Amino acid sequence: MNKEQILNFFNHFSALGSKEIFIFYIIIFFLLDLKQLSLKLLIGMILIYLIAIPIRYLYFKERPTKKQYKNILEKIDASSFPSMHSARTTFLLMTLTKFLNFEIKITIFLTLTWAIILYARIYKKKHDYKDIIGGIILGLIPYLL
């Protein structure tokens, strides 16, 4: 694999942790009549944002590849700590594995996917390890609540 193919691979995996895909999961579970799971994901996402936005506002940390911003919303998005991808995917991993009664094959698959998503954020120079660890902790907070 050349560098362009590797970057393309990590771009695809990174997208699995996006807010759009997370919202897609919420909608799909709702349509599948898994309303309680859908509600848990929605509440978890809201809690993640309610915690992360003030942190990013009060503690601005540049991304490894700096992102330009012109207003407060762009500045919050340009801040790298904590990683929202890490928070969303950690919360999703924990919630789904518990929902599926920690079935070993699915848990292994989801955990490997989670690890690749987190590494993709570092590879793409969107976050460093501290941002990822902060995101993991942030994702665990609503899960534990």
Q: List, in order, residues 6 or more apart from 68 with CB less than 8 Å away.
A: 74, 78
Distance CA 127, CA 17 (A): 14
Res. 1: pLDDT tops 80 = no
Distance CA 58, CA 64 (A): 19
Q: List, in order, residues 6 or more apart from 2 with CB less than 8 Å away.
A: none
Q: List, in order, residues 6 or more apart from 13 with CB less than 8 Å away.
A: 113, 116, 117, 120
How do residues 47-100 score in pLDDT, each as one tens digit?
999 999 999 999 999 999 898 989 999 999 999 999 999 999 999 999 999 999
Question: Does the reported pTM lie above 0.85?
Answer: yes
Q: What pLDDT, on a 0 to 100 scale, did the predictor assign at position 7? A: 82
Q: What pLDDT, on a 0 to 100 scale, did the predictor assign at position 129? A: 95
Q: If pLDDT is split at 50, 70 and 90, which confidence band does 4 have?
A: confident
How do residues 10-61 score in pLDDT, each as one tens digit?
888 788 889 999 999 999 999 999 999 999 999 999 999 999 999 999 999 9
Could you state, in order of their start, the residue ranges of all structural domains in the chain? 3-144
